[in-house]
């Protein structure tokens, strides 16, 4: 049976840890002179409904560095679900390439691709979650603390797709997860219920609070994201009115653990959810985190095509 990578919640803690261990190995291998061409003659179709810097470049380079190839398909070329049904696109592309990565608006679109494709499908982002980002996040935390077990991770801001996948990987691997944000921007109840089961199994905890100061106390990781995501532009003014108390600035970081790291999935709106002083400061891991997309995704692709 083919394996897809649609959500962190689909994988066991040991499967996730095995992929992270592979990411560490492939990262070191690249540093030591280059990766082995384990994906020689393999091709990835990259289907984009949303523009991207990190997702496009990291997947493209992941395939190249592992000896494979990647084909970029822009929103205009396919018109997923508009010009042609998702089922038809999935079945056609399955006959040309070995794996599909899709960055979509609606989560249902990536689910339908996976349903109809005969080859593995990777969720490069949907409105529900962002599992590839979560793998890079876990790799970054692992590199800084040696484990995720009992690490206090606080997400400051909107309970969005990035927060959902981060919550899943934290609860799967034993990190304590806290989210803080203004009323009306909470995490989906369904996702919380799923994560609570993982937390019960791993011994981690989940907490939600409006009090940002309470949230970051004893935090090892402070994670934030843009107040207004792609596709929410019409809400920007409304969001800019309620999110400023949740800005990650030097004062807030000083309330966390003294060795705390600050993370952000990027792109960052500097001066809004994060200040320049923090983004470019000693606690920041923004760019190592972004670079870890490459290594984490190599491990995902290698696992699915292995």
Selecting among 54, 109, 130, 283, the annotated active-site residue is 130
**132 carries an active-site annotation:** no
Percent of all residues in the chain with a pLDDT value above 90, rounded to a whole number: 92
Residue 1 within a domain: no
Mark whether 146 and 72 lie in a shared domain.
no
Mark whether 279 and 144 lie in a shared domain.
yes
Give me the CATH number covering residue 238: 3.40.50.1370
Q: pLDDT tens across 238-284, in order? A: 999 999 999 999 999 999 999 999 999 999 999 999 999 999 999 99
**65 carries an active-site annotation:** no
Helical H runs in 146-211? 161-173, 189-202
Q: What confidence score (pLDDT) does residue 20 get?
A: 98
> pLDDT class for 82, splitting at 50, 70, 90?
confident
Selecting among 4, 60, 103, 158, the annotated active-site residue is 103
Selecting among 127, 137, 225, 247, the annotated active-site residue is 225
Residue 70 within a domain: yes
Note whether 60 and 70 are within 8 A (CB). Answer: yes
Mark whether 279 and 149 lie in a shared domain.
yes
What total of structural domains would you count in the chain? Answer: 2
| Domain coverage including residue 269 | 133-289
DSSP per residue, 116-129: H-SS-EEEEE-SS-
Q: What confidence score (pLDDT) does residue 88 get?
A: 94
Mark whether 170 and 275 lie in a shared domain.
yes
**pLDDT value at 201 more than 90:** yes
Other CB atoms within 10 A of residue 84 CB: 12
Selecting among 176, 220, 239, 293, the annotated active-site residue is 293
Q: pLDDT tens across 105-144, in order? A: 999 999 999 999 999 999 999 999 999 999 999 999 999 9
Q: What confidence score (pLDDT) does residue 229 get?
A: 79
Selecting among 132, 137, 239, 265, the annotated active-site residue is 265
CA distance 295 to 210: 35
**225 carries an active-site annotation:** yes
CA distance 261 to 141: 9
CB-based burial label for 242 (10 Å; 0-12, 13-18, 19+):
middle
CA distance 266 to 283: 16
**133 carries an active-site annotation:** yes
Residue 160 within a domain: yes
**DSSP H/E element including 141:** helix 131-145
Residue 3 within a domain: no
Q: What confidence score (pLDDT) does residue 78 get?
A: 83
Mark whether 264 and 180 lie in a shared domain.
yes
Mark whether 167 and 299 lie in a shared domain.
no
Residue 149 within a domain: yes
Q: pLDDT tens across 8-63, in order? A: 999 999 999 999 999 999 999 999 999 999 999 999 999 999 889 999 999 999 99
Selecting among 49, 65, 133, 247, the annotated active-site residue is 133
């Amino acid at each position: 049976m083919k394996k897809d990578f649609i959500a962190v919640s689909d994988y066991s803690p040991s499967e996730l840890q095995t992929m992270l261990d592979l990411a560490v190995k492939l990262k070191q291998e690249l540093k030591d002179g280059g990766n082995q061409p384990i994906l020689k003659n393999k091709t990835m179709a990259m289907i984009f409904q949303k523009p991207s810097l990190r997702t496009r470049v990291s997947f493209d380079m992941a395939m190249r560095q592992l000896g494979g190839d990647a084909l970029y398909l822009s929103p205009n070329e396919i018109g997923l679900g508009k010009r042609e049904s998702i089922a038809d696109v999935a079945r056609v592309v399955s006959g040309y390439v070995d794996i599909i990565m899709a960055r979509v608006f609606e989560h249902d679109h990536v689910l339908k691709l996976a349903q109809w494709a005969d080859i593995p499908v990777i969720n490069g982002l949907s409105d529900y979650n962002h599992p590839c980002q979560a793998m890079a996040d876990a790799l970054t935390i692992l590199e800084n603390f040696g484990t995720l077990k009992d690490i206090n991770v606080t997400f400051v801001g909107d309970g969005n797709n990035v927060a959902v996948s981060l919550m899943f990987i934290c609860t799967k691997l034993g990190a304590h997860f806290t989210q803080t944000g203004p009323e009306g921007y909470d995490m989906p109840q369904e996702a919380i219920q799923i994560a609570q089961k993982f937390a019960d199994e791993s011994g981690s905890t989940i907490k939600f609070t409006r009090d940002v100061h309470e949230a970051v106390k004893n935090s090892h990781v402070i994670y934030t994201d843009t107040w207004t995501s792609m596709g929410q532009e019409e809400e920007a003014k409304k969001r800019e009115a309620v999110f400023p108390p949740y800005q990650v600035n030097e004062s807030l970081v000083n309330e966390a653990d003294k060795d705390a790291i600050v993370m952000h999935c990027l792109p960052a709106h500097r001066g809004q959810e994060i200040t320049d002083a923090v983004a470019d400061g000693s606690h920041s891991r923004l760019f190592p985190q972004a670079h870890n997309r490459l290594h984490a995704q190599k491990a995902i692709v290698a696992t699915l095509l292995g």
